[in-house]
Amino acid sequence: MPTSAQGPKSSEPLTPVRWGVLGASSFALKVSLPSMRRGPLTQLAALASRDIGKARAAAQSLGIPKAYGSYDELLDDPEIEAIYNPLPNHLHVKWTARAARAGKHVLCEKPIALSAKDAAALVDVQHETGKRIAEAFMIRYHPQWHQARDWVRSGQIGGLVSVQAAFSYFNRDAVNIRNRREVGGGALYDIGCYAVNMSRFLFGREPLRAMALVERDPEFGTDRLTSGLLDYGGAHLTFTCSTQAVAYQRVNALGTRGRIEIEIPFNAPADQPCKLFLDDGSTLNCSSAQVTSTDVVDQYHLQSEAFSRAIRTGGPVENPIAVAAGNMRVIDALFRSAESGRWEKI
């Protein structure tokens, strides 16, 4: 993905986009914001928290010049052009909508909503305001995923018939938002959404129906183990995600003549290359696999730069709200299936 600040048809540099940040979450402070601030097109200009002391400390730690003690104060700042929304899941729709109606473009962390109905409401907000709203699936900006999709599209593995994904970690901290059902915690919302999103990315179409099994934590009520199956019409996604299993992630894409394996598909390291394996299946011990290494990139950096560039140039954004709403329709169907015990249409 391009990271230069040069315009697409001009040698003149593009003006950086002034960003505001909602909240001071640990994830944002430690992971996404340090990556975003390195971009020539991404200027972190303000940060808001409901605790002004927390806002000032967070802003100072990242060199952000303005700190606000409420989210509304940030949205009222006329200098802010784009909002990054890493708030807890149940606050995504409310504050994304308010930001867009305040005249800001919005990059919101996944999941964009907790239901397809609420995601559809944000589609309406985008039409109403004309502002860009996108879901922050940073994996869509990493070159390993573009390489994998190029191989699929070019027929390197024949016809794509099955995508298999696993994503898990172990966390039983009762106060962690990932373990709080009332704020949108649980495995499917937190990490299973990646399997849904990347399968749609690779297949290039929408699934027809979904089936799922869910195991809920008896104390938290969140889904601690979810396994799902999506029917793409003659092709499948199968996945397992868990918040209470050994840390692991892997994706395999099986074709009629070969397979693609992505070693670290989701939490791609920012300080080392990622590896993809293209295997024709001629040996069962995988010795026939050819290894491709990507450049060293930071997918969060690429994501914010691409969004800023789209704002400045009017170009398309990756994973726009319409695509995000499609992910929520699938997640809704998976949860319905877990309750009904049968296939659910999407």
With beta carbons less than 8 A apart as the criterion, state whether 266 and 167 touch.
Answer: yes
Give the SS3 label for residue 114: coil
List helix spans (H) across 12-142.
26-27, 33-36, 52-62, 71-75, 92-101, 116-129
Judge contact between 215 and 228, C-beta under 8 A: no
Is-contact 51 74, C-beta < 8 A?
Answer: no
> Measured over all CA atoms, what is the biggest interatomic distance in the chain, rounded to whole angstroms?
61
Q: Are the C-beta atoms of residues 332 and 116 closer than 8 Å to each other?
A: yes
- Which residues are known catalytic residues? 110
Cα 88 to Cα 134: distance, rounded to the nearest angstrom = 16
Neighbours of 9 (CB within 10 A): 7
* Cα 84 to Cα 304: distance, rounded to the nearest angstrom: 9
For residues 85 and 115, give the distance between their C-alpha atoms in angstroms, rounded to a whole number.
18
Which residues, at least 6 apart from 218, have a Cβ–Cβ distance to it below 8 Å? none
Task: Show the beta-strand stretches assigned E in the chain.
Answer: 17-22, 42-48, 66-68, 82-85, 105-109, 133-136, 160-170, 209-216, 223-231, 236-242, 244-255, 259-262, 275-279, 290-293, 344-345
Task: Tokens 């971009």: give the residue.
Answer: 39
**Alpha-carbon span 190 to 266, nearest angstrom:** 12
Cα–Cα distance between 114 and 111 in angstroms, integer? 7
Rounded (10°) angle between helices 143-153 and 193-203: 40
